[in-house]
A and B are shown apart, each in its own frame.
Chain A
Amino acid sequence: MKKFDKERALLAIAAPVLAVIGALIVTALVLLATGKEPFTAFHVMINYGDKTDSQVYILNKATTYYLAGLAVAVGFRMNLFNIGVDGQYRLAAFFAAAVGGAMSIPGIIQVPLIILTAMVVGAVWAAIAGVLKVTRGVSEVISTIMLNSIAGIVIGYFLQDGRLGVLDKNANMVSTKPIPSGSHLFNFSTGGGAVDGFIVLAVVAGVLYWFGLNRTRFGFDLRAVGRSQSAAEASGVSVKRMVITSMLISGALAGLVGMPTLLNESYDYGTDFPVGIGFTGIAVALLGRNNPVGIAVGAVLWAFLDRAANGLEFEGYDQELVGVIQGVIVLAVVIAYELVRRYGLTRQQRQVGAELAAAAAHKQEVTA
């Protein structure tokens, strides 16, 4: 049985590795087509991405990507496509920042309060899509895309001087009231800069994700719905309730996405707050195969590519090259997973058939 498992693990790794290699080949071809030498570019990317300050940048970026990946992956595990992580985390971070800026109580209470606010806002925003799906049959893909847009408008409305925003006359930027320094989250100082303390909470979230899905009754039900909605329903899972619950969880996780930035870097929500991480989360979840460790690898890879894009720019390459790599990886990963999945399934069927035939032949010999 052990050998069986090892081969399965190999198969599991095969898909992302194939996808990354495929992406590199396509990128090399693109570079060749534009008349540039591909290996130098890869060399530049690796060298630049390997510097100490790059490493810190990558870790910090990867933390947010990881949380976004987890949020998307919860949906994926039950066949829900939560495209709305983007809107959920922005809205969550905005209201969390507003709450944080409005209070001045000891950090030990205020930091959890800010995080809780973010999770609740993210969960509620995601739950709207869940409720629409179970009551009106609206596809969560459509509703979450629309909710992304609505979230942007809501933030735009409140983020004005005199409402929840404060105008910074020097920079001509509007942002929420900064969170008092007593409520800034700790961080780890290194030679290359500070690593966000929130990385610890991201790891905890990853462990809880794994434990919740694989070791609890609830997680089993959730995965059952993802594998076969009809079988799950017959087994006694209330699919409707499960849709709403998993959207709540997905949204709560999405609420955490903006927290490293808010609590460790910006301390307020301004017009320059990072956007689009929710979409990166989809790619990262796909790349990591909804597996908590896989998502971590995917998040680090994505952050590395982001960083390497800067390096390329310094050396005179187009930084859009990284966009090409990332795009191709996503496409390749989807194809590679399907191929590996089908191969794995037929391989197993063949193995079972062969083993049973061998056993039957043996039995026949004995009885003959």
Chain B
Amino acid sequence: MDHRRGECAINASTSPPAPAPSGAPAVELRGITKRFPGVVANHDIDITVRSGTVHALVGENGAGKSTLMKILYGMQKPDEGTIAINGEQVDFHDPGDAIARGIGMVHQHFMLADNLTVLENVVLGSEKLHGIGGRARAAIREISDAYGLGVRPDALVEDLGVADRQRVEILKVLYRGARILILDEPTAVLVPQEVDALFDNLRGLKSEGLTVIFISHKLGEVLSVADEITVIRRGTTVGSADPRGTTTKQLAELMVGSELPSPETRESTVTTEPLLTVQGLRLAGTDADGIERIVLDEVGFTIHKGEVLGIAGVEGNGQAELVEAIMGMRRPDAGTVVLDGRDISRAPTRQRREDGIGYIPEDRHRHGLLLEAPLWENRILGHVTERPNSKGFLIDPGAARRDTERIVQEYDVRTPGIEVTAASLSGGNQQKLIVGREMSHLPKLLIAAHPTRGVDVGAQAQIWDQIREARREGLAVLLISADLDELIGLSDTLRVMYRGRLVADADPATITPEELGSAMTGAASGHLEHDGIEDR
């Protein structure tokens, strides 16, 4: 994708002049300020969304996009500022008020009951609109046809894929009469082909006169679908951009206030010495309905010293279980795990950590931190048996504190001190602490699951640098990520995981996100050959 054409049309001012509106704008936010007992708050936000447009709201994680949308959807009340919908000033007390004004929200995490049909899910809570039977079915068909959503009202939601579920969510909102749709990071769970389909749907909505507010931090997508872009940084609007004359790079610089880092790493440091060999890993699990299914099916791979093995896949295809099996948090039914020549298949988690596995967990709140403990205790977590945290059977709080100070310094963890609780840090700083902790014990193998998820661009670059640097010194990395650019950029070898199997492999030097995406949906398998058209 090449967006480099024309000159920059960015208008970087703290309060962008509203584009000349034809009629009243659909949404007008003026001087919105929200104070929080947290790190980021909204202040003086000004946004004008014209009717019948796709308006993108971009900004780093933690910039305040979600808070702003919660305010617009009535989930939170602003401390200052006004909201006007179609030229009329409004005061929302709860989402019900917002829905009554024609605002609908499609959340990042779907809120559907799996064991119900599409029809049942759609009418749930809005039984009064068109009943629950034939009339509702007809209404759903009508909406689906009008916007080209292709939703089948009688399909079971559990049989639907992620993209179809998303369309059901959109339909649910339309069914309730929404004319203004808020989509919170709608592409996060989709592969590139599905993203294109979604964008077609959004254009369809727009042509019917609906307004779409699209929240994202994927700039390429934003430029391809949006009519207007508003950039949020540190809780305030820092500018607006016209997608027709803006490049991703310019947008990114506006978003972060500095240059966009790239995950690319091309000089190979891969050696021939295998460090981690996984063979024939099988794991059966029972899901929420008590049905047994195969979560890991004959998974096998080898990671050499100095190699980054990236695993691509739509979430929920067994990646989390694979990590837990290697960490020893789950016992696989069959298979072996050999670390640096030693069979650790039956070793407990602690021994695996002591043997040199570093772990950056996917969910840092659940698996990486003790939120209510001070930073220096979090520095001990996972390495309680190792120096400098303990001497013999005793904890060494002095040494642990000193080393925490060092990590805070070296890894640029923004905190006023090491006695504050981990919960009071922002997500990016929590992640930097975890990376610092794991790297401090010089691991042989690093398992990094979504290492830069929810992390701002500055910290992202730093984490990539750290992984690259350690790789040069012979670290083996198992990288799992939903960010295909990150995967392709960092990995030396790529594997695709689909329904518990490693179905395809690819060379990150030539593969494109689109090609990887089709393998992630199970459409392609085997060795993925790049089809020749160079577009990077």
Contact = CB atoms under 8 A, between A and B. Distances in A.
Interface of A: 1, 4-5, 214-221, 223-224, 227-228, 230-238, 345-353, 355-356, 359
Contacts of B423: 345, 349
A223 B368 CA distance: 15
Given A216-B395, A217-B390, A217-B393, A228 B371 contact: yes
Chain A residues touching B, majority SS: helix
B284 interface: no
Given A235-B382, A352-B416, A352-B425, A218 B393 contact: yes
27 contacts: A1-B417, A5-B419, A215-B397, A217-B395, A219-B395, A220-B380, A220-B384, A223-B373, A228-B369, A228-B371, A231-B367, A231-B381, A233-B349, A234-B329, A234-B382, A235-B350, A235-B353, A235-B384, A236-B384, A345-B372, A345-B421, A347-B37, A348-B424, A349-B424, A352-B39, A352-B420, A353-B38
A352 B395 contact: no
Contacts of A355: 416
A224 B425 contact: no
B415 interface: yes
A234 B327 contact: yes
Given A220-B395, A227-B373, A235 B381 contact: yes
A236 B369 CA distance: 13
A353 B37 contact: yes
A345 B374 CA distance: 12
6 smallest A-B Cβ distances: which pairs?
Answer: A236-B350, A235-B382, A234-B367, A346-B37, A355-B416, A236-B349
Given A234-B382, A352-B424, A227 B370 contact: yes
B350 A237 contact: yes
Contacts of A224: 370, 373, 381
B208 to A, nearest CB: 43
B366 A231 contact: yes
Given A235-B353, A353-B424, 5 more contacts: A215-B394, A217-B394, A227-B373, A350-B38, A352-B425
A115 B135 CA distance: 77
Contacts of A228: 366, 369-371
A236 B39 contact: no
A4 B384 contact: no
B395 A345 contact: no
Contacts of B316: none
A4 B421 CA distance: 12
Contacts of A345: 372, 421, 423-424
Contacts of A237: 349-350
B359 interface: yes
A4 B417 contact: yes
A223 B384 CA distance: 12
A231 B425 contact: no
A231 B384 contact: no
Given A216-B394, A234-B359, A345-B424, A221 B384 contact: yes
B508 interface: no
A234 B414 contact: no
A231 B377 CA distance: 13
A290 to B, nearest CB: 14
A214 B390 CA distance: 12
A5 B353 CA distance: 33
Of A5, A218, A224, A231, most B-chain CB atoms within 10 Å: A231
Contacts of A351: 416, 420, 424
B290 to A, nearest CB: 15
Contacts of A4: 417, 419
Interface in B157-178: none
B385 interface: yes
Most buried by B among A227, A350, A352: A352
Contacts of B87: none
Given A228-B371, A352-B416, A236 B394 contact: no
